[in-house]
Structure 1
Amino acid sequence: MGKYYVTTPIYYVNDEPHLGHIYTTIAADVLARNKRLCGEDVFFLTGVDEHGQKVEQAAQARGIEPIELANQVVARYESLWPELSISNNDFIRTSSERHKKGVQAMWRRLENAGSIYKDFYEDWYCVPCESYWTETQLKDAECWDDKHCPDCKRAVEKIQEESYFFRLSAFQDLLAEHIKANPDFIMPASRRNEVLSFVEGGLRDLSVSRTTFSWGVPVPGDEKHVIYVWIDALTNYLSGLGFPDQELPEHWPADVHLIGKDILRFHAVYWPAMLMAANLPLPKRIYAHGWWTVEGEKMSKSKGNALRPADLLAEYDADVLRYFLLREVPFGHDGDFSFTALKQRYNSELANDVGNLLNRSLAMLNKYRDGVLGEMGEETESDRALIADVKAMQSEVAEALDRQAFHLAIERISVVVRHGNRYVEENAPWALAKQGDDARLNSVLYHLVETLRLVALQLLPFMPTKMQQMLSQIYNQEVATENFLYAEQGGWGLLKTGHQCAKPTPIFPRME
């Protein structure tokens, strides 16, 4: 049995969950569910980043302790994920003792490798981004006059303090070589090129401790220093697997870290350099997705257009949101969340295509055969074309998901659904029934139901609840889809003569 490890970033607790958080987490969940169906031993990790100066400041602004703020936000995530059918194996908190133990173990490994040294830091720091900037960088980015961060455009502050440093510069050539030798290490290609340009432009040693606040993991042996929040946060990918009790956890290295493009540099530069210094394997892939706008506008609290997951779930089924977010935009690109587009996708692809094929097929089976699959006649060219399309779909969907091309995977399934609806028109079961051509009618109905079963299996990672309902109608009983495997349920022809299907119940009623 192969092992598969997928992660989301850990989400900051200085704000509540939003559309970007659910997008990354749904994508990770689809990958995890797909690999479980492949029979792999999957570990899917998500969680929260509770430490750092901006969390401490956010808590102070509310007159509470940082851990109180963290607890409030964690409760929102832990209640939200089941509502979205998120099947994570673990939820890591950076305030947990197991994580602190992992961070301090990582620090010692870096220190023992000679990659940590103490010096004096004097430069500019962006609290919201938790990133450091030199005067040269600010000037090059034309941010010098008003002293704002090139990334988030908010004010940077001058910092002068004793600090530990990580010898990031020592890994510049190694990192560039690794990126060039492994084209799929950073995806999409535009992000890979961006990172490679940054690395080849020169890496400076990184300040990795602070003394001006206390909300974080203390440096082992020098507790007036707090470990830089990004060393802290990135180590979650190991501590969540049991590091350092397991020096090399069995699911490491990660198959894919899914992240937003705003934190690409931390994941694609700092993290692999840390792992190289610690003599640990690098993740196989870092995939940075784009940002969402809403109805063509950037989301912001001031505009009042920030989409709250609770509001979306009050209006739309979780499976519909899961489907739309991964269908609408190629993963890695920026996208726009439009309520009109969501309704159009739903009505055209789910209600009209999938729902219609299910309803009309099971309705005809029940009308003409009391819901029972009968003895088939000879296979026709039309039958063979549909079977070939279904079989090709299975391998092509797997290949698309291995590239995180979610929209292409869904489109390939949609091709089969549209083929199924054409097959109905081409073979006209109502005419066969009228003519009394029982064997051919049985064949047509069988091919439709079997196509639907295998379509539902491929859509199961995307819409686990809706597809469980669809499969329950096909099998005429509640099915435990969490135990399904492609190897056992994925072959054509598993439904046998005499199998009873249920009467259809619409699972995708039209959205007005």
Structure 2
Amino acid sequence: MTKNFYVTTPIYYVNGDPHVGSAYTTIAADVIARYKKTMGYDVYFLTGTDEHGQKVEETAKAKGMTPQQWTDSMAPRFMEMWKKLNIKNDDFIRTTEERHKKAVAKILKTVWEKGDIYKGEYEGKYCVSCETFVPENQVVNGNCCPDCGKELRMVKEESYFFRMSKYQDALLKHIDEHPDFILPRSRRNEVISFIKQGLQDLSISRNTFEWGIPIEFAPGHITYVWFDALTNYITAVGYENNAEEFAKRWTNGEVVHLLGKDIVRFHAIIWPCMLLSAGVKLPDKIVAHGWWTSEGEKMSKSKGNVVAPLEEVAKYGLDAFRYYLLREVTFGNDGDYSTKGVITRINSDLANDLGNLLNRTLGMYKKYFGDEIVKGGVYEEIDNEIKTLFTETLASVDDAMSRLEFSRALEFIWKFISRMNKYIDETMPWILVKDESKKERLATVMNMLVESLYKIAVLVSPYMPESAQKIWNQLGFNEDIEKALIENVRNWDIIPAGHKLGEATPIFPRIEVQKEVKEKNPVNKDLKIENPISIDEFGKVDIRVVELLEADRVKGSDKLLKFKVNDGKNIRQIVSGIAKYYPNPEELVGKKVLAVVNLNPVTLMGELSQGMLLSSEEKKRIKLVEIDSSVKVGSKIK
């Protein structure tokens, strides 16, 4: 009997464009959906957009649009992004659709009739960004939301409440009995700790704004956005109008929610309590991943370090981008997106390991036997080791994927790829080809390599579907790899003699890293000139090399020195305020220095000054600019 698998992403909020975080979740969901298909499951994959709430209403108003116009302009951006990232979702739900409104009305009515909704009044702190009331014991930093950190508003309004507290013990019991209900385990512990603080009843209606789904039994009230949004998961599989489909996909299927760690409480507490009240089976797994930083820093528009998925795809290729996101970090942990990391993964894992295995295998096969597979038959113990390792690899990959440990699954696949590269070095086909009696053994070795690549392509196809298809094509298989089943590649000797190989071309070209050559003395190209003058203005200043003939103090002054200088034509006197720095001025006699000789003469402390000596200032010390003794007196400085 075919097993059913249902995977969802969170529905993404329409107030912002898709980014690397939402791309990460959606690619992960796409990968697990594709993997389950290779395992023979009947798979249903849902994503979509969250379109109600106060933030949407306020944003639309600011843009001079109705909320519906605003959401209609934003939802297609997500659809287009997922298409470009080769996401093969089966459905895209929008919470403004009629089918969803009917599903929300149904679950509200069910919970209402059960007596789990009552009318009251709420007065407390509210986070507009998260669209949730925050109990006083959860407020952080004085008056901020514990989830997003933004300032809270004080709100008082009539509200309808869901008796969430009623389901605290039942939820704890379910979590205890289902160890993989919340993954990773660190998130599970966090949720348990939160529940044990005591669940409060949840305000599920709003009457201070209009953009939401009206509540039938509460005139003037609309549905709290999270009660609305979470219901999307059952809307899409027929909760409201298709009992047969709902039984297949939800009740009798494996249901997995993928989401970011910032919304794990909504999914692991509010949503299960809603389902317990409505008499609906709880999802099988709620899996929360971490956040991405960029080059070690938190992403922000102001820093200009936000990773734009399509820009990265343009630089490195789609499959390389998909591979890096799921290989670089354990799903559940935070990760850092870095250029160096991407290039290292491409060059090491894709080009050196997988690409090299493919290129070497096809190159040797065509050199030794031509384009067609020849019959082998001479097996050795090393071949049995390879077959055993492949069987172990399949089991290890499936175990990792059952817990959504994408990086770990890829580690097992790459362990097998590395083993096949080593197999080439151990069997040495280039030696076997020289011995005619070893020809059948050579054929066996080469067939093992071709078949391993055929199997590897199927294993990597969920992560890199386009590249996997290219590997199959180069091996001479034109079937759609998306229809491949693991069951059909478990055994060996499945490629018949006479099968024709395709053409070999590099799938993963290496990225040559341009080494930055640091200038010894880099020029500051952004240099800002203070008090700028033109070259014409500078040309008016007559600077000459002068020789100091006499040096003495000015009577009555502790700052001034007077010098008699030779400017090459005349003997002139120059007064300079440098006495503090030259206590023995007579030592300066005979030195050549620079002087401005076309200044208007002035009288200082009764002494005539016919120019100005040039000096430098460093650490509050003044020093005359001395010139090499070989320079001719009177030389003009240009």
Q: TM-score, normalised by structure 2?
A: 0.78
Q: Any idea what the Cα deviations from partners look like across 1:447-490, whole Å, max 9, x if unmatched? A: 1001111111111111011001101111x242212222222344
What is the aligned partner in structure 1 of residue 249 from structure 2?
251
What is the aligned partner in structure 2 of residue 311 from structure 1?
311
What is the aligned partner in structure 2 of residue 5 from structure 1?
6
1:344 matched to 2:344? The reply is yes
What is the aligned partner in structure 2 of residue 33 from structure 1?
34
Instruction: Name structure 2 gaps, 5 residues minimum.
Output: 513-638
Q: Any idea what the Cα deviations from partners look like across 1:74-113, whole Å, max 9, x if unmatched? A: 1111111121111111000000000111111111011011
Kept in 2, the 8 Å contact 1:258–1:287? The answer is yes
What is the aligned partner in structure 2 of residue 482 from structure 1?
482
What is the aligned partner in structure 1 of residue 354 from structure 2?
354
SS at the partner of 2:221? strand
CA–CA separation in structure 1 for the residues paired with 2:324 and 2:312:
12
Matches of residues 68-467 of structure 1 in structure 2 within 5 Å? 68-138=69-139, 141=140, 143-144=141-142, 147-247=143-243, 248-253=246-251, 255-436=255-436, 437-467=438-468
Q: Which moved more, 1:323-332 or 1:378-387?
A: 378-387
**Corresponding letter in the other structure for 1:368:** Y
**Corresponding letter in the other structure for 1:183:** P
**Corresponding letter in the other structure for 1:186:** I
CA–CA separation in structure 1 for the residues paired with 2:300 and 2:63:
20
Q: Any idea what the Cα deviations from partners look like across 1:206-253, whole Å, max 9, x if unmatched? A: 110001111110111334111000010000000011221134442004
Matches of residues 8-23 of structure 1 in structure 2 within 5 Å? 8-23=9-24
CA–CA separation in structure 1 for the residues paired with 2:484 and 2:451:
16
1:54 matched to 2:72? The reply is no
SS at the partner of 2:11? strand
Kept in 1, the 8 Å contact 2:44–2:90? The answer is yes
CA–CA separation in structure 1 for the residues paired with 2:185 and 2:457:
32
CA–CA separation in structure 1 for the residues paired with 2:112 and 2:156:
23
Kept in 1, the 8 Å contact 2:55–2:129? The answer is yes
CA–CA separation in structure 1 for the residues paired with 2:319 and 2:303:
28
Larger radius of gyration: 2
Cα 1:218/1:249, change in 2 over 3 Å: farther
| Aligned-residue RMSD, C-alpha | 1.2
CA–CA separation in structure 1 for the residues paired with 2:163 and 2:75:
34
SS at the partner of 2:249? coil
CA–CA separation in structure 1 for the residues paired with 2:164 and 2:304:
41
**Corresponding letter in the other structure for 2:136:** E
**Corresponding letter in the other structure for 2:192:** L
Kept in 1, the 8 Å contact 2:461–2:482? The answer is no
CA–CA separation in structure 2 for the residues paired with 1:252 and 1:233:
17
What is the aligned partner in structure 1 of residue 552 from structure 2?
none
CA–CA separation in structure 2 for the residues paired with 1:464 and 1:21:
20
CA–CA separation in structure 2 for the residues paired with 1:477 and 1:204:
59
CA–CA separation in structure 1 for the residues paired with 2:91 and 2:20:
21
CA–CA separation in structure 1 for the residues paired with 2:318 and 2:72:
25
SS at the partner of 1:255? strand
**Equivalences, count:** 506
CA–CA separation in structure 2 for the residues paired with 1:152 and 1:231:
19
Q: Which moved more, 1:56-65 or 1:293-302?
A: 56-65
Offset of 1:311 from its aligned partner?
1.6
Kept in 2, the 8 Å contact 1:362–1:371? The answer is no
**Corresponding letter in the other structure for 1:467:** A
CA–CA separation in structure 1 for the residues paired with 2:256 and 2:442:
47
Where does structure 1 differ by over 4 angstroms across 4 or more consecutive aligned residues? none
Q: Any idea what the Cα deviations from partners look like across 1:359-388, whole Å, max 9, x if unmatched? A: 110111111111222221421112111121
Instruction: Name structure 1 gaps, 5 residues minimum.
Output: none
Structure that is richer in helix per residue: 1
What is the aligned partner in structure 1 of residue 542 from structure 2?
none
SS at the partner of 1:124? strand
Offset of 1:506 from its aligned partner?
0.9
Offset of 1:491 from its aligned partner?
2.6
CA–CA separation in structure 2 for the residues paired with 1:272 and 1:493:
48
CA–CA separation in structure 2 for the residues paired with 1:183 and 1:346:
36
SS at the partner of 2:211? coil
CA–CA separation in structure 1 for the residues paired with 2:171 and 2:325:
33
Kept in 2, the 8 Å contact 1:363–1:503? The answer is no
Offset of 1:415 from its aligned partner?
0.6
CA–CA separation in structure 2 for the residues paired with 1:378 and 1:250:
49
Q: Any idea what the Cα deviations from partners look like across 1:149-204, whole Å, max 9, x if unmatched? A: 12211111011111000001111111111111111111111100000011111011
Offset of 1:316 from its aligned partner?
2.3
